[in-house]
Amino acid sequence: MRQYDYIIVGSGIAGLYTALLARQHGSVLIVTKGSIDDCNTKYAQGGIAAAIGKTDSPGLHFQDTVAAGDGLCDEEAVRILVDEAPDRISELVNLGVTFDTIEGEIALAMEAAHSVPRIVHAGGDATGEHLEVTLSNQVSSARIKVLEDCLAIAIVVEGGAVSGIMTLDSRTGKTEELGCRFLILATGGAGQLFRFNTNSRVATGDGIALAFEAGAEIVDMEFFQFHPTALRLPGATPFLISEAVRGEGGVLLNREGRRFMSGYASQGELAPRDVVARAITYEMSKTGSDNVFLDITHLPARVITSRFPQIYRFCLRHGLDITREPIPVAPAAHYMTGGVKVNTWGETSIAGLFAAGETACTGVHGANRLASNSLMEVVVFGKRIVEKAGQGGGQSPVARSGADVRQRLPRRPLRKDAPPPGLSALQHLHWEKTGIIRDRARLAEAAGTLATWQETLPLPADRASHELRNLVVTGRLLAEAALLREESRGAHFRSDFPRKSAEWQRHIILTGQPGGGQ
């Protein structure tokens, strides 16, 4: 059996960044189910939040993050993020990331729910792609070993601690066990749960399902963030229209051409994402439409094309000139706020197992992620993972807090009327039953169907069947958590419990039996 000090599953910014740091402490292997650049990172348009402006401070960044998190942020984790963010920007510059500048200084943009401009960009709206390419080149130069087209299919746990992973070579069908001292899950999110989403096709909840089936704690799964403005054009896949477009002055109009956000929130278009997404949903329902419009035609064309080159080019390829016409948009699933429960050093409840990026739940985002905090979360806590492991940490499970709700997944009777399982059926189920606006009946129906699929799916044998299995497990965790939380908070909205409750100012942690049992 091949043995490594660090095995990192995933090749987005979380995986690449931690690999570059970990190589200083031992042997490193990156395992990725596609090519090294198949990830969500390159889709990140908005940028990275850091308090480096003259009018900004870590204190302001802290306040904005906690306000967006709606009572569920881990304030220690937020404080670490905002305090370390400026240094992490400097490190990325040293790694070769070229951020946009104005007169020699890093340019800062405004985004919704931030009190001052603090969003650092690269290539306008191509920040994720710039990060991915830069870090990928660094990994290649460092000669870090990468196994492509290799799917992690199980975490091997011995004596309560990680000892390695089982992998499946998608090209040959061969399985292999690989050993390690430390395993870092950096597999990204689970946007493919939903029919309309802004994620890469690789975002299938792999790390969540692997960790859950190994016995790790999973937290905050009910808080799935929907981006308010994804392109909605016939024949075009949902494409993210960045928060920054509204930050630059874009306005939302309904089908009748009327601006409507002031009727839902005092901040108007710059209200938190969950508020804007629900407002758009209500407005579409009122007008019998499947979209609203985001209008930036009042801005100079040169500003639009230079500030949002990716968005401009993508829309133009589909026959839409955003300098002259408003953009048809609608909400789409975007970011998994919950995930594998970790402490401020990235440690999980299983010794030797760490998680980073969207796979992990550090507590920074609380019930609703503040725009552009996610990329910064990756580099801040990715660095802390390697520091902890390099000091010999991660050898014992993290301590548990007593205030949270802990529950094993309930056993549910098999549903005779459940539709046949499949990716399309799963995505339709989640969009209709666990989407932006939820209620008990639809959540219970989703949980029952997903439990039936979980019990009856045949053993996976290839990448597609493993991904479907992972989506079913991850989706069930989402549905069960959303059913438990009888209130509305942040990205979780229940029409049958439309107000926030002090009783629910706590986290829902779900666990299973090691080995995949419920």
pLDDT in tens, 367-382: 999 989 999 999 999 9
Instruction: Return the top range by mean pLDDT from 99-103, 113-117, 199-203, 325-329.
Output: 325-329
Residue 196 belongs to some domain of the structure: no
Residue 415, Cβ density class (10 Å: 0-12 exposed, 13-18 middle, ≥19 buried): middle
Residue 172 belongs to some domain of the structure: no
Residue 71 forms beta bridges with which residues? none
Whether 514 shows a pLDDT value over 70: the answer reads no
Residue 11 belongs to some domain of the structure: no
Residue 454 belongs to some domain of the structure: yes
In this structure, the answer to whether residues 404 and 329 fall within a common structural domain is no
Residue 460 belongs to some domain of the structure: yes
Whether 516 shows a pLDDT value over 50: the answer reads no
In this structure, the answer to whether residues 411 and 310 fall within a common structural domain is no
Q: What is the CATH number of the domain that holds 421?
A: 1.20.58.100
In this structure, the answer to whether residues 407 and 505 fall within a common structural domain is yes
Asked which of 333, 359, 378 is the last residue of a domain, the reply is 333
Residue 416 belongs to some domain of the structure: yes
Instruction: Indicate the DSSP class of residue 188.
Output: -
> Among 150, 61, 85, which residue's Cα sits nearest to residue 382?
85
Residue 57 belongs to some domain of the structure: no
Give the helix, strand, coil percentages of the chain, each rounded to 5.
35, 20, 45
Average pLDDT, integer, range 151-169: 97
Asked which of 282, 308, 333 is the last residue of a domain, the reply is 333
pLDDT in tens, 413-446: 999 999 999 999 999 999 999 999 999 999 999 9
Q: How far is CA 514 from CA 210, 386, 397, 510, 511, in A?
A: 10, 26, 14, 13, 9
Average pLDDT across the chain, whole number: 93
Residues designated catalytic: 273
**Residue 45: predicted pLDDT:** 58
In this structure, the answer to whether residues 326 and 407 fall within a common structural domain is no
Whether 18 shows a pLDDT value over 80: the answer reads yes
Instruction: Return the top range by mean pLDDT from 167-171, 268-272, 369-373.
Output: 167-171
In this structure, the answer to whether residues 504 and 405 fall within a common structural domain is yes
Spatial contact of 509 and 341, defined as CB atoms under 8 Å apart = yes
Average pLDDT, integer, range 387-403: 74
Q: What is the CATH number of the domain that holds 309?
A: 3.90.700.10
In this structure, the answer to whether residues 328 and 410 fall within a common structural domain is no
**Residue 399: predicted pLDDT:** 59
In this structure, the answer to whether residues 411 and 494 fall within a common structural domain is yes
Helices 75-95 & 127-141, crossing angle to 10 degrees?
Answer: 70
Asked which of 318, 333, 348 is the last residue of a domain, the reply is 333
Query: What is the value of pTM for the model shown?
Result: 0.94
Residue 144 belongs to some domain of the structure: no
In this structure, the answer to whether residues 504 and 413 fall within a common structural domain is yes
Domains identified in the chain, total number: 2
Domain that holds residue 283: 230-333
